[in-house]
Amino acid sequence: MRRTLILVRREIWEHPSLWAAPLAVMVLMLFAAIFGRTALPSGRLTMPPQMAQALFALGVLAFGVTQYVTMSAVLWFYATDCLYSERRDRSILFWKSMPVSDAQTVLCKALIALVVAPIGVYLLTLITSVLGFGIWALREWSGSIPPLYWDTRTWLRIEGFSLVSLIVATLWYAPLTAYLMLVSAWARRNVQLWVILPPLIALLVERIAFGTHYLTTVLLYRLGSGWQASLLVSTERLFTGPGFTLGGPGAAPAAPFEGLGAARAFANVDLWIGLAVAAVFLFAAIRIRRYRDDT
């Protein structure tokens, strides 16, 4: 445990963008909450409750989505760099002089991309939305901006939905993460190019040789939002629970995790096939780091 912790810390020392980028996004959004203006007239507005609720929900989502998009970019570069940089600067000779196995090293890097970073960013998103709306409420109290509807249940609902989506998406894209790490362990230079090239060549070969585009379909399905389909989230289901009609009397959001289709997402065999492929890629990355001769 202590060992895992120090290996995780070592990754964060080497890749400060893992925390700096999400923190920068957070600061930007808090700035927006402090200095932002709206087109809405100031003073008390009368708004149908479901519209206020939807606006609020969109605000919470916006805080999250910005973070998750940033995180995806940061993790792309992390995964392509994490096993390459140590070979580029030859520091692998130092790391390999320590009693840390290649499996520990590679799995710890995967842990960063698949667990530590998503959880960290998720927590940061929670803090950002609370702080952001807190700031907005202070400004509202001072009378400079229109009031904002804070609804704890809606907030919990959106954050519950975000958490489930984040988990499912992280697992869905795990083979991509593992593939990037594999290329990072294998490529001698131009990692980004080698990430693109093999699938591209495979697609072209398939198309020319067999006239089919089966691989294209598979890749688009995997890289696209295939995971969302199984989550079965419609706007309506997101904001209301079963038995509610939007804007009806006493309309209240559903419980945080209700009816999100998480069970269905995990029952999706494609998710598990993806995870198996990810495991194979990680295993290959470990073998390459272990047995490659020209360290």
| Interacting residue with other proteins among 43, 99, 211, 243 (CB under 8 A) | 99
Between CA 282 and CA 292 the distance in angstroms is: 15
CB 167: neighbour CB atoms within 10 A? 17
Report if residue 5 touches other proteins, rule: CB under 8 A.
Answer: yes
In the bound complex, what is the minimum distance in angstroms from residue 26's beta carbon to other proteins? 23
Single out the segment in contact with other proteins by CB under 8 A; choices: 23-31, 84-92, 132-140, 217-225. 84-92
Whole-angstrom distance, CA of residue 92 vs CA of residue 11: 13
Q: CA of 91: how far to CAs of 17, 94, 97, 98, 285, in Å?
A: 20, 5, 10, 12, 18
Q: Which residue has the tokens 């799995």?
A: 107
- The CB-of-67 to other proteins minimum distance in angstroms stands at 25
- Residue found by looking up tokens 């995790």 in the block: 257
Going by C-alpha positions, the residue among 71, 69, 92 that lies closest to residue 14 is: 92
Token reading at 26: 């957070």
Work out which of 100, 137, 215, 284 binds other proteins, going by CB under 8 A: 100
Instruction: Tell me the per-residue interface mask from 12 to 51 with other proteins, x by CB under 8 A, - otherwise.
Output: -xx-------------------------------------
Site size toward other proteins (CB under 8 A) is: 27
Number of Cβ within a 10 Å radius of residue 280: 14
Which residues, numbered 255-294, are part of the site for other proteins (CB under 8 A)?
Answer: 290-291, 293
CA pair distance 141, 210, nearest whole angstrom: 67
From candidates 40, 89, 138, 232, binder to other proteins by CB under 8 A: 89
By CB under 8 A, tell whether 3 contacts other proteins: yes
Span interacting with other proteins, options 43-51, 99-107, 132-140, 261-269, rule CB under 8 A:
99-107
Contact of 274 with 175, CB cutoff 8 Å = yes
Q: Which of 96, 153, 207, 287 binds other proteins (CB under 8 A)?
A: 96
d(CA 85, CA 12) in angstroms, rounded, equals 14
Using CB under 8 A, which of 10, 153, 207, 287 touches other proteins? 10
Q: Which residues bind other proteins (CB under 8 A)?
A: 2-3, 5-7, 9-10, 13-14, 85-86, 89-94, 96-101, 290-291, 293, 295
